[in-house]
Structures are given as structure tokens and as C-alpha cells.
Amino acid sequence: MTERQPSLSLKHAVGYVRVSTAEQAEEGFSIAAQEARIRQECERYDGQMKLVHVYADEGISGKSIEKRPGMIRLLDDVKAGGIDAVICWNISRIARNVANLLEIIDILEKNSVSFISITEKMDTQTPAGRLMLQIMASMGEYERNNIAENVYLGSRRRAQEGWTNGGRVLGYDNVVDADGNRTLTVNKSEAIIVRRIFRDASLGKGYRSIANALNKEGYKTKRGNDFSSTAVKGIVSNPLYVGKVRYGEYRHWEKLRRKGKQEDVLLVNGKHPAIIDKNMWNDVARLVRHRKKVPTWNASGENVLTGLLRCPECGGPMAASNTTNRLVDGTKRRIRYYSCANFRNKGSAVCHANSIRADEAEELVKMKLIQTLSLKDIGESVLRQMRENSQERLSRIERQQTANLNNQDDLRHSLDKYHQLIRANKELETAILPRIEEIQDQLNDKQEEELNLEKTKKSFVNLPNPRDIQELLVVVARLIRRADKCSLKALYQTFIAQITFSREKKLVWVQLEFDNEIVSQLKAQSKEAESKADSVFSFTKRIEFVV
């Protein structure tokens, strides 16, 4: 838009007056009194300022612009041109909060329209008035940049207290409790569907399979639609159903989408009742983690290294396949192979087959693991790796702490600027104090977040005893010796990061991965296996392994 220059001779001014219902009876607030003061102000300019119109909003609050027709018409006319100045009796007539005031001033400034407030002696035609406007404009820029942050912090604070921020969700109804808080109550008929989904998921059924079964039986989502695999996945991964509130998993979704995933996700106990018990939740969560590591085309079956075995040439995944060989006596034998998936999908321009017999690779890995897990110093080695992993996580937490402290500095700087603005013009105090309180609340939230980060940081110090790890891995080695292929695959997926091999040298390199969560999973798997097969363990304890 081309910027208009104000007239060098006669300036056309308009006035704005407003009074709310509560202010009608107060002396000096009447529409007529405000208009009279505006006309007197115009006379001070010795005929250089002509009042052409007065816009009025009578009996209307100044909390927002949208509900004030007089203000809307004023701003439309400002944008259309022909107005050189807007005069009001008091800044509070223009707006009751800083955000709206700065929004209106910004529109006037962009259209080269001066703003005059009689009570505050603010006139943007003077150097002092322009300085005040620049200060307020800088605060306006800060306001606009922090709208999303304010919403986020407010919602995060609500979530920290255990209240949900989401919309409609299957299994619950949104209600308001006796204290006026928005919360959730269980919808009994929908809760049956949720429990059905979790029960099927705990039995190993896939998302698509669960969705198809629900649709076939006529069940619907909260919005009355058919179930999809995405809808089922969203339900089984939502901690809301176990009585938790999760917040802040993604930031700036509209711009970054999944790239905005955050590390400091908030997860706290909620105020709402749970639908799923913790044991069911943990069982399903463990299966979901396992499914993520295993490609969907081979999540079960006999190919125990799928998703772990890597091509020695390109580093890509090795996929299993079958071939049938005819022996000398005429009989046929089915042989399994692992070969480079990139070669199979994209051809020799990308990589080569690098095939290896599946039974051969699986036996090599099994032997390597039993040998490694039986080493007398394996507990110390694993503990050393866990310390390294903890150091990486500690580094991430320290980066979050640094960002948190920087945010606190910014908030303190903003508080200082607002206090300076009040000292420069005491009349702005009523409009600015609510914003100061909001920033102070944000600062308190950041300080509380700092304490939580410090608690999380201390939790990484509590690592298992190396002797306990040693004993656990001895049990895992025994499990590997006698486990069936399905159990073996589950064990491998728990603590193996990847496997590479040399077919010529018949060697494998197994990269193990341990942290507190993995150790806990191994304990659970070992305990379950021992309880089911004590006699098998008593037998395997007598087997000696020879490399």
C-alpha cells in the first residue's frame, strides 16, 4: 500500500468515544462529555485541525475490537484514506488491553494517521509522542511474536496440573466439574470399544485388522466415522486412556509438521479416570515398540534377523527370501536367504545381492551373542555403555536447560520494558498490569520447568549394579540357547541395534544397545520365561558352550 503523507494545511480529524454499561453513571465518562473534550482539543490547533466525524460505541466493553461496530467503521475509514488524525479522551476508550491498543495503533501508523490521547498527552505528531508510540510498537512486535508461546505456556500449565487440553476423544465426554474446570468423564458405551481395541492389540493384532473387525461389527469413531488403522494407532498410543495427560509432543505443527517433535514432552497423572489398567497399557506399548523395529512384512515368522541384519556393502536392510533347490536324488529342498533389500528393489546400480544363508547367519549371531553375554566382564561393559547413553541424554537436558534460561532472560527483559513504559506514562499502568501478570506467570512456569529438568537429570545417575546386569545377561544367554524363533526374535529386537557380517570370513558383528528401559524389558522377559519353563532352565544350566 502506498503511504499517504498528511496534509500540510488543514488536517481532517475524527474522534472516538466509548462507554460501557457499568460506566454510564460515572461522571466524566459520558459520550457527550468525551465528545466535548475532543472538540476542545481540536480548537487548540488554531484552525489547523477540523473534526469531521465522531465514532461512538455506547454500552460496549473495550475488551475486543470485533464487538465494537464504531471502532470497526473507524478502522475501515482509516484504511480508505482521508483521515489525518484520530483523537480520544483516554487510551482506555480505545482499548482495555495492550494487545488491542497496539493493534489499533499499528493500523493508524501504517496509514500515516496520527493518534492523540487527551488525558495521557500523547500526540504522535510530536517527538515525545512518536517516541512513546515506538516504544509501544516494539512491545506490539513482542506481543505478536509471543501469541503462540502464550497459548502454549497456558495450555502446558493446565496440563501440568493434570487437566486435558484436547477436544473430543473416544471413551470420554467433556464436562465441567463443580469448580468450573473442564475435564473428562468416562462414556461407558464408548469405553467398551476402547477396551476392545486394547485387548485385540495386546493379542498381537495389527491396526488394520482391528479396524476391519470394528467396522464389520458396526462400531464408529467419536465423530461417527468408520475406523481406520490411523485411528486405532492413535488410540493405543494415547496415554490419556491410562489416566495420563501428555502435552507438547509437537511444536509449531502448522509449519514444521513432524519435524517439530519435541524432546521435553510433558507426561503427568491426569485428573480424569483411566479406562485401561497399567498392565494392559504396558503390554500394548511393548508390542508397539517391537512392531516399530520389525518391518511390517515380517513382524512374525521364522526370519529372526529381519530388521536387524545390514548389508555389508551399502548398509541397507537385508530382506529374507526363499529358493528351492533340487538335490542329486531328485528331492527338493527349500532354502532361506537374506539379501540386500536395496538390490532387490532398485537393482545393481544401487548395490549387489550380498546374499547369505539364513540358517547360517542366524546360527552365527546366536553363537556370537551367547559368547558375548557369557563374558565375565560383560556387566562392566554394558554399564559403561549405559553411562555413555546417559551422558548423551544429559547433554540434551542441558541444552534444554540453556534454552529455558534464555527464555527466562527474555521474559525478565520484557518485564523491565513494561515497567519502563509505566514509569514513562503512569496512565498506561491499568492497561499494562494484566500483561505483566501474564509474563510473570510464564516466568514462574519456566522456573518450575527448570526444577523438573534438574530432577530428570538426577535420575540418570541411578544406574543398575554391574553384578545385577551380569546375572541378568547370563539368564538372557540361557534364553537364547533354547528359545523358539518367535521368542528369539522378540529378544533380539529388544537389545540389538544392528548386525553386519562377512560372508567370506563367516563372521558377524553385533551392535548391542542398553539403557535403563531395555534392562527393565529384559528383566520382564526373563522373569516371564523362567516362570514358564523352570525345568528347561535347570537343563540349560548344565550345558557348556564351546566357541
How many Å apart are CA 439 and CA 435, to the nearest integer?
Answer: 6
Mean pLDDT over residues 492-517, rounded? 78
Same domain, 424 and 482: yes
Residue 328 falls inside a structural domain: no
Same domain, 91 and 208: no
Mean pLDDT over residues 152-173, rounded? 76
Mean pLDDT over residues 191-214, rounded? 87
Mean pLDDT over residues 104-118, rounded? 86
Mean pLDDT over residues 110-138, rounded? 74
Residue 351 falls inside a structural domain: no
Same domain, 140 and 215: no
Q: Residue 387 phi/psi, 5° resolution? A: -65, -40
pLDDT band for position 543 (50/70/90)? very low
Q: Would you give the DSSP letter of residue 428?
A: G
Same domain, 433 and 514: yes
**pLDDT 10s digits, 233-262:** 889 888 889 888 887 665 554 555 555 566
Active site residue 20: yes
Same domain, 491 and 383: yes
How many Å apart are CA 141 and CA 415, to the nearest integer?
Answer: 15
Residue 347 falls inside a structural domain: no
The number of C-alpha atoms within 13 Å of 162 and in the hemisphere containing its C-beta is: 8
Comparing 128-137, 172-181, 306-315, the range with the smallest average pLDDT is: 128-137
Same domain, 92 and 182: no
Does the pLDDT at position 22 exceed 60? no
Give the model's pLDDT for residue 538: 31
3-state helix, strand and coil shares in percent for the chain, rounded to the nearest 5: 55, 15, 30
Per the structure, the complete domain to which residue 120 belongs is given by: 11-145
Comparing 79-93, 244-258, 350-364, the range with the smallest average pLDDT is: 244-258
Residue 333 falls inside a structural domain: no
Same domain, 371 and 498: yes
pLDDT band for position 542 (50/70/90)? very low
**pLDDT 10s digits, 457-483:** 776 666 677 777 777 888 888 888 887
Residue 483 falls inside a structural domain: yes
Give the model's pLDDT for residue 333: 78
Same domain, 132 and 164: no
Same domain, 546 and 419: yes
Mean pLDDT over residues 418-446, rounded? 80
What does DSSP say about strands 266-269 and 318-326: parallel, antiparallel, or unpaired? unpaired
Nearest to 480 by CA among 512, 505, 453: 512
**pLDDT 10s digits, 32-52:** 888 999 999 888 887 888 999
Domain end, chosen from 110, 145, 180, is at 145
Give the model's pLDDT for residue 536: 33
Same domain, 108 and 169: no
Q: Out of 9, 20, 117, 300, which one is annotated catalytic?
A: 20
Mean pLDDT of the chain: 76
The C-alpha cell that represents 431 in the structure block: 492497561
Does the pLDDT at position 166 exceed 50? yes
Residue 543: count other Cβ atoms within 10 Å of its Cβ. Answer: 10
- Dihedral of alpha carbons 54, 55, 61, 65, sign: negative
Domain with residue 232: its CATH number is 3.90.1750.20
Domain end, chosen from 243, 266, 293, is at 293
**pLDDT 10s digits, 444-458:** 878 887 887 787 777
Does the pLDDT at position 298 exceed 50? no
Same domain, 226 and 121: no
Domain with residue 121: its CATH number is 3.40.50.1390
Residue 163 falls inside a structural domain: yes
Residue 331 falls inside a structural domain: no
End-to-end Cα spacing for the chain:
82
Give the model's pLDDT for residue 5: 41
Give the model's pLDDT for residue 11: 87
Domain count, the chain: 3
E strand spans, 207-276: 244-247, 266-269
Q: What is the pTM of this model?
A: 0.40
Same domain, 70 and 199: no
Comparing 94-108, 281-295, 373-387, the range with the smallest average pLDDT is: 281-295
Residue 488: count other Cβ atoms within 10 Å of its Cβ. Answer: 21
Residue 117 falls inside a structural domain: yes
Domain end, chosen from 293, 328, 349, is at 293
Mean pLDDT over residues 340-346, rounded? 81
Does the pLDDT at position 94 exceed 70? yes
